[in-house]
Each structure stands twice: as C-alpha cells, then as structure tokens.
A = this chain, B = another copy of it.
Amino acid sequence: MDEVKVIEIKKSVFADNEADANGLRSELKQRGVYLLNLMSSPGSGKTSTLIRTLNLLKDKLKIAVMEADIDSDVDAVKIKNATGVSSIQLHTGGMCHLDAEMTRQGLDNVALADRDLVILENVGNLVCPAEFDTGAVRNAMILSVPEGDDKPLKYPLMFSVCDLVLINKTDVLPYFDFDLERCKENIHLRNPKAKVIPICAKTGEGVDQFADWLLEEVRQWKK
C-alpha cells in the first residue's frame, strides 16, 4: 500500500467556531481556494463518489483531498491510488466531527498556493458534523438509496445546512422501497433551495453533473 500523510487532529481551542469559520472562509477567498465539505452516513459512498469526480476534474482544476476518519488510512490511500490526486488523512482521534480549527489543521498540510479546490471528506455521521461550520464555501452531502427516503425527516439539521444533496446508489433502486420524488420533497421540506442530483458512483451515472456543478462553483469563487 502507498503511504499517505496522516495528520493527527487536536481538539479545537477556539470558543467561537462561527467567527473562526468565517475567518477561514475569507482567507480561502483571498487565496482563491474553494473548500467543499462533504458529509454523509457511514457507507453511503463518499470515497467512491470522490474517485469518479476527481477523475473528471483533475485535468481542469488543481485539487487536494482531506479524508477525515476516526482511525484508518484506507480512504486516503484509495483516493491517491485511484486518481493520483494529492490526498491526506486526518485522524480525529475519536471525535465525531470537524470544526473550523480542526479543518485548518488539515489545510496547514495542503500546499494551498497550488490548489483551486480542496475537498474535505468529513466523518461519516449524519448528526454532529452538521452542527459545526468547517469554514467551507459549501456543504454537500450524500444520501444513499439503501438508507431510505425518510432520512431528511429524521436528520433535519444535516439536510438544512447542505447546499447540495447527492442521492447515490441509484442502481439498486429496484431492490429498495425508495421513492426518488418523495425523497426530493422531504429534502425540500428541510431546505427548499437545496440542489439534488441522483448519481451512481458505481456506474458513473450523474457524477458528471456533480463535477459540472463543482467546476462552476470554483469558477465563481475565484472571480
């Protein structure tokens, strides 16, 4: 296995995460770096979605990935091997989320001067990561078909803070009681402005739409 850089994240000392997140965002704006915070449940397909997306974007943008995980390096290694994109692993030491200061600890290990886009793969958890602004420009999340179309009703904060919801694993729609339209309605109950893109990271279907959205977002941010 290839080695990747592993950063042990320390607990944040900042009392005011909101101010800290806004400060980080301003700094990223000045440097022309777009930060996306990608959240989801465990096993919804964040890493495989990223691999597809990075392969579509890596010749158009200079990208780095930060993989947050409680205690393993498998995702960062997978990303690096499958895409060649620079990837570091953030170990949260049992912590269930990242805040802005913790995100900054990761960014300190990314050569920001050479990047247009940094993607933060947050800890797999639909609850706590939604409570902490990481300083990202946008929040996106993945909901996978096997999890059920009722999740926006049960995890309201997560869906209300996300600008984009990817509905993944559409290839298994025939085997689950999951109604795409009902799911979209449930998402829009929580956040009427959320953009929803159905994708299948396994076959690649719909991932180009996510890549196009991200490309346009980065272009607007760098203006």
* Interface pair A126/B42, CB less than 8 Å apart: yes
Query: Which parts of A64-115 form the interface with B (CB within 8 Å)?
Result: 69-72, 74, 94, 96
A160-186 vs B, Cβ < 8 Å mask (1 yes, 0 no): 000000000101100110000000000
CB distance from A132 to the nearest CB of B (A): 12
CA distance A43 to B142 in the complex (A): 13
CA distance A109 to B111 in the complex (A): 55
CA distance A154 to B6 in the complex (A): 15
The contact of A155 among B42, B172, B176, by CB within 8 Å, is B42
* Interface pair A74/B154, CB less than 8 Å apart: yes
* Interface pair B146/A42, CB less than 8 Å apart: no
CA distance A185 to B36 in the complex (A): 35
* Interface pair B96/A42, CB less than 8 Å apart: no
A42-B41, A131-B94, A172-B175 known; A74+B150 contact, CB < 8 A = yes
The contact of A125 among B94, B125, B176, by CB within 8 Å, is B125
* Interface pair A153/B72, CB less than 8 Å apart: yes
Give me 30 A-to-B residue pairs in the complex whose CB atoms sit less than 8 angstroms apart, sorted by A's number: A41-B43, A41-B147, A42-B126, A42-B148, A42-B151, A43-B144, A43-B148, A43-B151, A69-B154, A70-B155, A70-B156, A70-B157, A71-B154, A71-B156, A72-B153, A72-B154, A74-B154, A96-B127, A123-B127, A124-B127, A124-B154, A125-B125, A125-B126, A125-B128, A146-B146, A146-B147, A146-B169, A171-B175, A172-B172, A172-B176
> Can you add 17 more A-B contacts, CB < 8 Å, to A43-B147, A72-B154, A74-B150?
A41-B42, A42-B126, A42-B147, A43-B144, A70-B127, A70-B156, A70-B157, A74-B154, A96-B127, A124-B127, A124-B154, A124-B155, A125-B126, A125-B127, A125-B128, A146-B147, A172-B172
